[in-house]
Amino acid sequence: MERTRLGLGHSSTYGQACMQCYKAKCRCVPNLSGGGCERCLRLKRDCHPSDSIRRRFAQRTEESDTRIAQLEDKIETLSSAMRSIASSSGSSAEILRLLNEESISSSTSSPKDTPGNSIGTNPSISEGLTPATAPPPMAPANTNPFYPSHYSLSPSNLSPSQAEEYLDFFRSRMLPCFPFINLTPDITAWQLNEERPILFQAIVTVTTFSTEKKLARAEELKRILFTSALLNVQSNIDLLLGLLTYLAWSADAFLGGADLVSRLMMLAISLVYDLRLFKPSPPDVKLMMTITQGRDYENQGDAIEQTVQEFMEKQRAVLACFVLSSNISSHIGRIDTLRWTPQMEEALRVVGMNRSCPTDQAFAFQVRLQLLKHRAAYIREQHEIDCSHTATTSVTASVPGLLYLKTLRGQLHELISSFPPDLHRRNILIIYAQYVDLYINQLAYAISWDSPLLNLSGQRSDDGILPGLERLECLWRSVESIKSWLENFYTISPSELVGLPFHFWSQMILCVTVLKYLLVLEDPAWDCQAVRNTVDLISTMDCMIQRLDLGSKELDLQCDDNLFKLLSNLLSKCRMWAGARSDMASRMQDVDARSCQSADPGAASHNSYIPDLDQMVWMQSMDLESNQWFEDAMGWLTASS
């Protein structure tokens, strides 16, 4: 060590400072007596040279730099090879072979590399989705710490071209029927998989129309959902959107999975509360004011525009959660609808005013239609509570509910008249509105059921209303609603049918069921023949089966176990029942119908009432792949007819 050669006041050369000065990052001035540096003598500390320690540190740094350079060279070589192969032949098998070879060479040449630094250590990487263009295929996956790395991978055996086909099908033919997500045409499958991996997985699942294949992909999706929400206790918008997408287009409700659908819906509702989407934050309030006051936020910078897009994404999500929870609560039961709040009303107003997204206006109309149906259901619940407090239902007790339902019916017709002629998918909204009208009419019928059908005495009640006459009017309004629903259903092209959400098909089944009840209703003032002349059940089911078969023959649905086949099978069995009853009625033309009814004392009681649309128990246990369910359901329908 040459420290003693330096004169007084001269610092040590670079790299020759003692350990104490090196740690403190201070000047190290050697003492002339050779007993160490002046700082250590002044502080009365032992002065030790740092040559060996710093040399070892420098050696480790040099080794790390070398290893990093080697890894960078390998990554660059691999990326170049993959781009070359993709541009020449696009063979995924060759890419996979190179990945495996590079993984083996990396593991043998760099045994000290950690798993996170080895490209080939993740066996799921071969199933990942790679972009067709830049950025490079080996670009890092989602760096969000809330997402496990394997969530950003696409489903197995899915090539980039297939992924684009799934996304394009969902965006062009399914999402317009229930547009609660804004997927612009410039979003690629690779980008969506990186930014919203769970949503992408849900899209691939619901666009798989073979029941067998869909169930397999649904199992993988449910594993991701349950792991994220329950094991990792995560709450994020990607998880919520993936849940809502699967719930909207899932066939579980028709395949004996009503319990699963209810639990998934409850999970989605819990995410809405965890994310506090029902109560906007102060920044969201500012954005809401910006949008509603007509300011041009697009000119305020990309950051503001991105924030507005995220805000609108949340507003659509909470409104979609309300619509789906209301439908599932009505058709399947077991859960309560997401509570409607003033903040959600404001969100609905903002979405309805937004013109930057072409489908927001139609989505807002869907939410308003569902809100009217939800309010009608609330009247029924209040009526049931009032009835439970009294032994019998009085005529005057039914009047307030009937008046409120009449008000809702007026609001519905006003809403229908406000549909613009060029509204996106206006025919689907009209069908939706006709079902809401049927729902309101059936509730009014149920509320006034205990009163006489016609008040022949001519005396009005204390409130000046004749509930019996209102009940008869509700029945005929139901016939007209079903007729209008069917006429608009026939206008939907087969390519549009494949994109309809699950609650549309539930509405179709319920419309046919109510029509069946109206055709066999036993009431002195009810003309069943007039109903048959207006809407014939057999020809109706023939037309619907034909439409379903056309939808099943679409290019993307070449499978024998899709939902259209299952629904067609259901209607075919119902048609057999209707045909048998029609033949029986023709054979009884010369027989006294009243005497036949007296021979079967239970027939009048079975046919004299139409159950609520929310109380179709056989709908809640539907399994279109179960022969036992068909036997039980057909037996129930026959007994109740």
DSSP secondary structure, 81-120, as one string: HHHHHHHHT--HHHHHHHHHHHHHHHHHH-TT--GGG-GG
CA–CA separation, 221 and 146 (whole Å): 17
The most confident of the ranges 209-223, 231-245, 554-568, 572-586 is 231-245
**The pLDDT value given to residue 155:** 56
**The pLDDT value given to residue 313:** 92
The most confident of the ranges 154-158, 304-308, 350-354, 517-521 is 350-354
**The pLDDT value given to residue 175:** 94
Could you give the residue ranges of the DSSP H alpha helices within 490-527? Answer: 494-497, 502-520
CA–CA separation, 93 and 86 (whole Å): 11
Helical (H) or strand (E) element with 223: helix 211-226
Q: How sure is the predictor about 210, in pLDDT bands with cuts at 50, 70 and 90?
A: confident
Report residue 609 as tokens: 């009432």
Q: Kindly provide the b/e burial profile for residues 321-350, where b requires at least 16 CB atoms within 10 angstroms of the residue's own CB.
A: bbbbbbbbbbbbeebebbebeebbeebbeb
On the question of pLDDT at 285 being above 90, the answer is no
**The pLDDT value given to residue 176:** 93
- Sole residue written with tokens 């070892």: 56
Nearest to 160 by CA among 221, 54, 98, 86: 86
Q: Average pLDDT, stretch 32-58?
A: 75
**The pLDDT value given to residue 108:** 44
How does the average pLDDT of the chain come out, rounded?
74
**pLDDT tens column, 372-401:** 999 988 887 776 666 655 544 444 445 677
Q: Average pLDDT, stretch 511-529?
A: 85
On the question of pLDDT at 133 being above 50, the answer is no
**The pLDDT value given to residue 591:** 42
- Kindly report the length of the chain: 641
On the question of pLDDT at 90 being above 50, the answer is no
In order of start, what are the domains of the chain with their CATH numbers? 3-49 (no CATH), 89-97+144-351 (no CATH), 358-492 (1.20.58), 525-641 (no CATH)
On the question of pLDDT at 284 being above 80, the answer is no
Residue 482, amino acid: I
**The pLDDT value given to residue 95:** 44
Q: Average pLDDT, stretch 551-573?
A: 76
Q: How sure is the predictor about 351, in pLDDT bands with cuts at 50, 70 and 90?
A: very high
**The pLDDT value given to residue 25:** 77
**The pLDDT value given to residue 563:** 82
Q: Average pLDDT, stretch 51-57?
A: 57
On the question of pLDDT at 446 being above 90, the answer is no
Q: Who contacts 344 (Cβ-Cβ below 8 Å, separation ≥6)?
A: 278, 318, 319, 322
Cβ atoms 398, 372 nearer than 8 A = no
**pLDDT tens column, 459-493:** 444 443 445 677 788 889 999 999 999 999 998 88
Helical (H) or strand (E) element with 601: helix 601-607
- Say which residue, 502 or 306, is predicted with more confidence: 502
Out of 306-320, 408-422, 608-622, pick the least confident.
608-622
Q: Average pLDDT, stretch 84-93?
A: 49
pTM of model > 0.85: no
The most confident of the ranges 56-65, 248-257, 409-418, 626-635 is 409-418
**The pLDDT value given to residue 60:** 66
On the question of pLDDT at 348 being above 90, the answer is yes
Q: Average pLDDT, stretch 37-42?
A: 86
Q: What is the Rg, in whole angstroms, of the alpha carbon atoms belonging to the chain?
A: 35
- Say which residue, 407 or 151, is predicted with more confidence: 407
- Say which residue, 350 or 582, is predicted with more confidence: 350
**pLDDT tens column, 588-603:** 444 444 433 333 333 3
**The pLDDT value given to residue 600:** 38
**The pLDDT value given to residue 392:** 45
CA–CA separation, 400 and 279 (whole Å): 33
**The pLDDT value given to residue 498:** 86
- Say which residue, 92 or 539, is predicted with more confidence: 539
Q: Average pLDDT, stretch 309-317?
A: 90
Axis crossing angle, helix 502-520 with helix 467-489, rounded to the nearest 10: 130
Q: Average pLDDT, stretch 426-445?
A: 91
On the question of pLDDT at 157 being above 60, the answer is yes
Cβ atoms 621, 333 nearer than 8 A = no
**The pLDDT value given to residue 576:** 80
Q: Average pLDDT, stretch 549-554?
A: 80
- Say which residue, 424 or 534, is predicted with more confidence: 534
On the question of pLDDT at 231 being above 60, the answer is yes
On the question of pLDDT at 168 being above 60, the answer is yes
**The pLDDT value given to residue 253:** 86
Q: Kindly provide the b/e burial profile for residues 244-254, where b requires at least 16 CB atoms within 10 angstroms of the residue's own CB.
A: bbbbbbbbbbb
CA–CA separation, 12 and 26 (whole Å): 11
Q: Average pLDDT, stretch 556-576?
A: 78
Q: How sure is the predictor about 266, in pLDDT bands with cuts at 50, 70 and 90?
A: very high
Q: Average pLDDT, stretch 214-240?
A: 90
